[in-house]
A and B are shown apart, each in its own frame.
Chain A
């Protein structure tokens, strides 16, 4: 480790506890953020479908939130929720909205009118129409938005270092500050892997969720 090589098995072995802890925190923050962001976004998208007039304010607000520099965002949230994981999760949820709300809404709006009419004609309405017809048909678009969100959330989580909860970001910044290459590279590679795993999980979920498309692709 003293030679400061970029790749170092000894680092991984001797600090596996710390690496696993950081990885766990990273996964927890990412999963919570995307999950909460998704639920909030569905509610917002449905709100917009019901009251179209709210579309502009909701899109506007989420876009403005998206443009807040992440360092400022965490610093602002810190004054409310302190040096906690919650601060990071709230920030990441707010960032996820702009992509997710648009994705979900685009997906729902993309359901062909004649399909919807046919469903209504078959006696579907309200919640049943949404769950049985519209959401399934919107799934590919929704999953596309989810995948973008998940990957960007994995990356943004590292900035939680500002409030001491950055998951792998803690190791990356620590390594950068003390010029510890193995620490920087190991944590960075894990970050990339995590993003890939998140993406693959979502692709898998999409395939499970849209069995009718499997024969097509």
Chain B
């Protein structure tokens, strides 16, 4: 008995400390975060029929998809847009594409934000087997082409892809701002012109991935003296580039923390990377719904990679809530 009591006391003590210790660093973003959280009270319990709103702007929709920061922000943006168009919207996440894609096909989820190339090849594998992406790829470096090639595959599953945004979440290649300025670098081609062997911080599999080391060598003629297996856009990779331990780092193009660490992205001017542009994917029952389609396409017209990076940074660095970040962005763009 006494043993258990001391364990309880210990845990209670830990919780108490948690409640009492402030973490400082107060800034306005946090308070604005809590202000708007109450706004969505009406949208929680929207369990009525799905997608039966023929005359636009009625009925309830479920926005879904993966649950990492970028997707959370995109889901909140979709939700705000669709609510603005008159729908009741709820969000239902899942941790894997295999799961939420199936829920989307089944109609349990109505709308999912996706990456064009990745989703295209996912459907390609589903339809044509695991070798399809190499044998008959649908994804190219062009977003419109990729979406066009994916549409027939999506149609077979009862899914519809809307227009892709300019924003793309791809492999990005970062150098330190200092290094870029000294050598007047803006693109990966500029970097190749230096003709120096580089230390490259990236994922362990980078030497085997066509869009990583082999692609950089064959497309740009870059040479590498050493590979540091520090992960994709991980804090370690970014720190290594910032500290000068690595010349080049593999990061996400929408990573919002790059600027703060003194890193800049080099443009993929030879278009090595596939077009992982953000594109709304709808269940076909909802896709007949013009109000919903229009609302989502409006976003694709304005969303850029820089916007997405800033939105990610607001959540991951400034610790604002995705829904606040989303509505602030839409208001700024005049979409609400």
Contacts and interface: CB of A to CB of B under 8 A. Distances in A.
A8 B99 contact: no
Contacts of B38: 17
Interface residues of B, number: 50
Contact of A162 (B11, B24, B69, B94): B94
Contact of A82 (B4, B21, B106): B106
B103 A83 contact: yes
Contacts of A182: 23
B26 A10 contact: yes
Interface residues of A, number: 42
A196 B22 contact: no
B interface secondary structure, majority: helix
Contacts of A83: 64, 92, 94, 99-100, 103, 108-109
B37 A5 contact: no
A173 B19 contact: no
Contacts of B183: none
Given A2-B27, A15-B321, A196-B11, A7 B92 contact: no
A3 B30 CA distance: 12
A9 B99 contact: no
Contacts of B178: none
A192 B38 CA distance: 28
Given A83-B109, A162-B99, A189 B15 contact: yes
B95 A161 contact: yes
Interface string B112-141: 000000000000000000000000000000
B99 A75 contact: yes
Interface in B1-45: 4, 7-8, 11-12, 14-15, 17-27, 29-31, 33-34, 37-38
A5 B23 contact: yes
B94 A12 contact: no
A18 to B, nearest CB: 8
A209 interface: no
Interface of B: 4, 7-8, 11-12, 14-15, 17-27, 29-31, 33-34, 37-38, 64, 67-69, 72, 92-96, 98-100, 102-103, 106, 108-109, 235, 315-319, 321
Interface of A: 1-3, 5, 7-15, 17-18, 75, 78-79, 82-83, 161-164, 170, 173-174, 177-180, 182, 185-186, 189-190, 192-193, 196, 199-200, 203
